[in-house]
Chains A and B, each alone.
Chain A
Amino acid sequence: MTERHDDDLAREIQAHLELEAEEQVASGLDAADARLAARRAFGSVAWTQEQVRAVGRWRPLDDLRQDARFAARTLVRNPGFACVAMLTLALGIGANTAVFSLVQTVLLRPLPFADPDRLVVLWEDFTGRGGPREVQASPANFLDWREQNRTFEGMAAIDGLLQTFNLTGAGEPERLSGARVTGNLFGVLGLQPVAGRTLVPDDDRAAAEPTAVISEGLWRRRFGADPALIGRTIRLNDILYTVVGVVPGHFQFPLRGTDVWVPAAFGPEQRSQRTAFVLNIVGRLKSGVTTEQAQADMDGVARRIAEQHPGTNARLGVLVVPLHAQYASPIRATLNILLAVVGVVLLVACVNVAHLLLARSSERRRELALRGALGAGRGRVFRQLLTESLLLASVGAVLGAAFSTLAFQSLARLIPRAVSRRHDAGVAPWRVGVHGTRRGGDERCVRRRSVARGFSAQPPRHVEGVGHQESHPP
């Protein structure tokens, strides 16, 4: 197949026109009129050339490329308008992305435990006595709950007060935060260790050798992630604990920065403590059991205990709350409001940009008329304008993504301690995509930034949030 160049076609068209002009002259027109007549008979030369060029090529893609190039040129030629439009969009998109990411990490991300929907938190419910709804449990009550329930696969307790463990005998002494937990905690949560094993109920016996599980952070930073550490002892508060395992870095129960977990090993005197409300309780429901069913079950248990111990437990109930709902609740309402607000901001941004485009369109009437004269159909012109908008939106989205990262950091700092962030929190990549599409562009900003979240419980008596933290591998 002969490959024809543009100039070849131009030559051919030229010859055609000359021939036609000749015939026109032969029928009586003068040279100038003949040339005009020839052109008129031919139609739009530019159109012809374009059409020939387009034969065999995929029109839509071709058009798109051309439109994109033209759109870019148009925007460059109008820097004022372009900047304002893009910044407006960036603001709207950025703010939304930041808040969306926040909402996603706080409210929507699943917990890093096995089958997390079956995990619940249990509280002592003092409303029967005119007191608070969510109070930590006493050891005796906890043990009764664990023994008398019918709907739980397991229940574990964490001492609500973090202990300070002085690590000595291995280089620089260091103060660590640690928690006393019942031996079945890791089993109930369904957490897999990074090295070694987690605590088991056997470790929790009063007569057992002191064992400990350390955090991944501590393991790396203090012991160089040495696998030989498993099975060796470390000296905490002058007691030798055997390190049996390392838990993943994202696990920061009950508070951020917990580095050591040791068995609670309740002694007989602790077990009978019914009025010291110091324990956070986590439970795993049996498969297929709903929170409502568990609540009903525990209501029954609470009643039975109250009958047996009227002095301490009269009108004392149990509250069962799903784990994921638990620590989002204080902030949920605020986040929803924030979401609505930035939604409106985006809307306003879009309206503003639309306004700008509208204002420009009256200036562009001549340009559009010219395009029409050259043969562009209405559909084509519309597509060209749409491409311009898409280009604006795309650049706006990119800027928005950058802005949202900054916004996210600031937002993170504003969140109260009940639900707090870690330093390297980032922006969920696909959120930027959602906003790009909203504005009519299908830009996708793919950025592999990790999102980390941390939660911290509030100090002693009222624990409103149970904490954990999650971080992605670098």
Chain B
Amino acid sequence: MPPRKLVQGTLELLILRTLRSGALHGHGIAKHIERTSDEVLLVEHGSLYPALRRLEQQEFITSKWEQTDRGRDMRMYRLTPKGRRQLVAEESRWAELVRAMARVLDAV
């Protein structure tokens, strides 16, 4: 299936989810999304950054310059407790949306 463009709100959900298991830098987040979706969801890496900034403004994530184990300086992003709660809320909303879509699509 050709890669689809992501709608803005969903990108943020993906980012939050990606950061659930730990801190990552922007590049890492992009790669993670691509990999785990089997390359179905391909983001223009650049589009992550406005989303990251937005999430940071809403205090769902924080960021800090850190040195990776490879000796490189990267800005690392982490979920905040508020962010975790938001993730749960967004996930359930997404599930609801999917179910509703399914119902409509399956209706005769």
Contact = CB atoms under 8 A, between A and B. Distances in A.
B46 A12 contact: no
B74 A13 contact: no
Best-buried of B27, B50, B56 by chain A (most CB within 10 Å): B27
B75 interface: yes
A274 to B, nearest CB: 91
12 contacts: A1-B59, A2-B56, A12-B49, A12-B74, A16-B25, A43-B46, A45-B46, A48-B46, A48-B49, A51-B47, A55-B53, A55-B54
Interface residues of B, number: 21
B45 A16 contact: yes
Contact of A12 (B26, B31, B44): B26
B98 to A, nearest CB: 28
B72 A43 contact: no
B57 A52 contact: no
A26 to B, nearest CB: 12
B11 to A, nearest CB: 12
Contacts of B63: 2
Contacts of B31: 23
Given A43-B44, A48-B50, A52-B50, 18 more contacts: A2-B62, A4-B53, A9-B49, A12-B75, A18-B72, A19-B72, A20-B45, A42-B44, A43-B46, A43-B47, A45-B46, A47-B46, A48-B46, A48-B47, A51-B46, A55-B50, A55-B54, A56-B57
A276 interface: no
A13 B73 contact: no
Contacts of A1: 56-57, 59
A31 interface: no
Nearest to B62: A2
B19 to A, nearest CB: 16
A351 interface: no
Main secondary structure of the interface of A (DSSP, over half): helix
A15 B72 contact: yes
A66 interface: no
Contacts of A12: 26, 49, 74-75
Nearest to A12: B75
Contact of B46 (A2, A15, A18, A44): A44
Given A15-B72, A16-B26, A52 B45 contact: no
Interface string B70-85: 0011110000000000
Contact of B45 (A4, A43, A54, A55): A43
A16 B77 CA distance: 14
Contacts of B44: 41-43
B45 A41 contact: yes
Contacts of B56: 1-2
Contact of A55 (B57, B73, B74): B57
Interface in B36-94: 44-47, 49-50, 53-54, 56-57, 59, 62-63, 72-75
B49 A13 contact: yes
A54 B51 CA distance: 11
A43 B49 CA distance: 11
Nearest to B47: A43
A41 B33 CA distance: 14
Nearest to A48: B46
Contacts of A15: 25, 27, 72-75
Return the 4 tightest CB-CB contacts between A and B, nearest first: A43-B44, A48-B46, A43-B46, A51-B50
Contacts of B62: 2
Nearest to A38: B45
Nearest to A56: B57
Nearest to B45: A42
A13 B75 CA distance: 10
Contacts of A54: 50
Contacts of B27: 15-16, 19-20
Contacts of A13: 46, 49
Nearest to B26: A16
B13 to A, nearest CB: 17
A470 B68 CA distance: 82
Interface string A26-60: 00000000000000011111011001101110000
A115 B88 CA distance: 71
B49 A52 contact: yes
A45 B26 CA distance: 14
Contacts of A23: 31
A55 B73 CA distance: 24
B66 to A, nearest CB: 11
Interface string B1-42: 000000000000000000000000111000100000000000
Contacts of A48: 46-47, 49-50
Nearest to B50: A51
Nearest to A16: B27
Contacts of B74: 12, 15, 19
B33 to A, nearest CB: 13
Best-buried of B26, B50, B57 by chain A (most CB within 10 Å): B50
